[in-house]
Amino acid sequence: MTSTPCRISVIIPCYNYGRFLPDAVNSVLGQKKDGLAVEIIVVDDGSTDDTAAVAQRLGSSIQYIYQENQGLSAARNTGIRAAKGDYLVFLDADDLLTAGTLASHLDNFTAHPELDVSVCLSLQTFENKNGSTANYLWPLKCAHLDMHLCHSNISPVHTFMLRANAAQEIGFFDPDLKACEDQDYWLRCAALGKRFGVNPEGLVIYRQHGQSMTSQMPRQLAHDAAIRFKISMLLETRPDFPRAGKFYGWLAHAAGTICSACGLYSSAPQFALKLLDESSKAILRTAALAAQTKIEDAHLILAERYFAGEYFLRASGFAAHFCRTLEKATGFLSTRHPQLAALSTDLLDAKQKNIFLRLCCDYQRMAATVKKNYPLSLRIDTLSHDAIPFKRWLCPFTGKHYFGINIA
């Protein structure tokens, strides 16, 4: 007797993206060539364009649900309630699954049955006004994803596949968050002890344009700052989060928080200074745990160096706002990492890039996945080691650009 294949529920929220919707749906339908049982749930969040007519033309290939406009999180939540699959995937209406992505997630779950969440690659494409495109491959960390979530969002929402029973425990996306709602969701998932695993064989195309949510950076920054305090609360209250230990959780949080402080300083300096204080306190929490923390994992050794280096880079810009807490925080890191502390900004910047590469999945493997799966119907620029995985961040104090995850 043959077993029934696992059904995958792909939830597509749509608000005034009727022109993108057929491509997104067709990219999911193409996954059925792998013999997968897939249901497609399109949640129309009160669109005023032709989304309803487009959905009607798509016919029985989708389950169409209309609701009054309530926002992206509410639309995803409606999809969660309607889903009948054993696994859930969230795909925005302007994004695309490449061939074999869902099958590669299932292969990952089969190879690692302890996993609750599988995370694949995402290639972000920017559509410029002149019609040209630029591409940015989200660097996928190769281990300890729950720890890296304490620093920043690890990947766009469409790269995740999670077990439906895990989703039942997590609950729903927070409808009050208008940005960073996905990081909040995965943080809650990790705080419940759910296990994340990497899948460098799958690829999703993340199309960013003038209307996309992530193009609205000021709002993104404000919500990212709010997430900072939620991470602190989870570190305080969840005894086993992250799995690597509190030392690494607080250190990752400190580095991510000072990144947010840098990003917000130009537009909201007073709030940025509150975040600076939060990051300094997180370093002091790290210091209190240092003596009892055994470092036996090569990835964690690199992660500590990277987070410390990132803190040094950002903290140097806040010299005019130096306070006792920041002084103690940088003093602890300088004692623990004297070689990093002694480097000039430019040399530290170069070292950060080298460390970061080693924290991520093998670059050549990621590039091979992109070249194998990228749709021929879309134009892609030449992939190069320097062009893909990295953004530069602008220091508001020096006006210079440095390497790093550009939270801002």
Has residue 125 got a pLDDT over 90? no
Determine, yes or no, domain membership for 1: no
Q: What is the mean pLDDT of the chain?
A: 87
Q: Coil, strand or helix: which one is 170?
A: helix
Q: CA-to-CA distance for 143 and 154, rounded, in angstroms?
A: 11
Determine, yes or no, domain membership for 159: yes
Determine, yes or no, domain membership for 2: no
User: So what's the pLDDT on residue 4?
Assistant: 59
**CATH code for the domain in which residue 143 is found:** 3.90.550.10
Segment 139-197, tens digit of pLDDT: 899 999 999 999 999 999 999 999 999 999 999 999 988 888 999 999 999 999 999 99
Determine, yes or no, domain membership for 390: yes
Residues composing the chain = 408
Pair (267, 376) in one structural domain: yes
Has residue 3 got a pLDDT over 60? no
Q: Model's pTM, two decimal places?
A: 0.90
Segment 47-70, tens digit of pLDDT: 999 999 999 999 999 999 999 999
The rounded percent of the chain whose pLDDT value lies above 70 is 85
Q: What is the separation of C-alpha 114 from the centre of its chain, rounded to a whole number of angstroms?
A: 22
User: So what's the pLDDT on residue 269?
Assistant: 87
Pair (168, 294) in one structural domain: no
Pair (42, 103) in one structural domain: yes
What is the domain extent for residue 254? 218-404
Q: What is the separation of C-alpha 245 from the centre of its chain, rounded to a whole number of angstroms?
A: 21
Pair (253, 109) in one structural domain: no
Determine, yes or no, domain membership for 187: yes
Q: CA-to-CA distance for 132 and 126, rounded, in angstroms?
A: 8
Can you tell me the mean pLDDT for 355-359?
A: 90
List Cβ<8 Å contacts ≥24 apart for 367-372.
Answer: 367/137, 369/121, 369/200, 369/201, 369/202, 369/203, 370/121, 370/123, 370/137, 370/203
Confidence class of residue 367 from pLDDT cuts 50, 70 and 90?
Answer: confident
Pair (288, 163) in one structural domain: no
Q: Residue holding tokens 């529920």?
A: 9
Total structural domains within the chain: 2
Determine, yes or no, domain membership for 283: yes
Has residue 126 got a pLDDT over 80? no
User: So what's the pLDDT on residue 386?
Assistant: 40
Determine, yes or no, domain membership for 169: yes
Has residue 404 got a pLDDT over 90? no
- Angstrom CA distances, 139 to 62, 155, 200, 378, 402, stand at 32, 8, 10, 21, 17
Pair (231, 377) in one structural domain: yes
Q: Which of 194, 216, 238 is the last residue of a domain?
A: 216
Q: Which of 216, 246, 269 is the last residue of a domain?
A: 216
Pair (281, 304) in one structural domain: yes
Pair (77, 125) in one structural domain: yes
Residue of higher predicted confidence among 347 and 266: 347
Pair (158, 234) in one structural domain: no
The residue among 244, 224, 379 whose CA lies nearest residue 299 is 244
Determine, yes or no, domain membership for 108: yes
| Of 320-334, 359-373, 388-402, the least confident | 388-402
Q: CA-to-CA distance for 4 and 29, rounded, in angstroms?
A: 19
User: So what's the pLDDT on residue 407?
Assistant: 35
User: So what's the pLDDT on residue 399?
Assistant: 59
Segment 22-49, tens digit of pLDDT: 999 999 999 988 889 999 999 999 999 9
Pair (59, 143) in one structural domain: yes
The residue among 125, 79, 170 whose CA lies nearest residue 379 is 125
Segment 200-245, tens digit of pLDDT: 999 999 988 765 544 455 566 667 778 899 999 999 999 999 999 9
The residue among 288, 280, 289, 268 whose CA lies nearest residue 314 is 280
Question: What backbone phi and psi angles, to 5 degrees, belong to 240?
Answer: -110, 20
Q: Which of 216, 235, 252 is the last residue of a domain?
A: 216
Pair (162, 276) in one structural domain: no
Pair (224, 211) in one structural domain: no
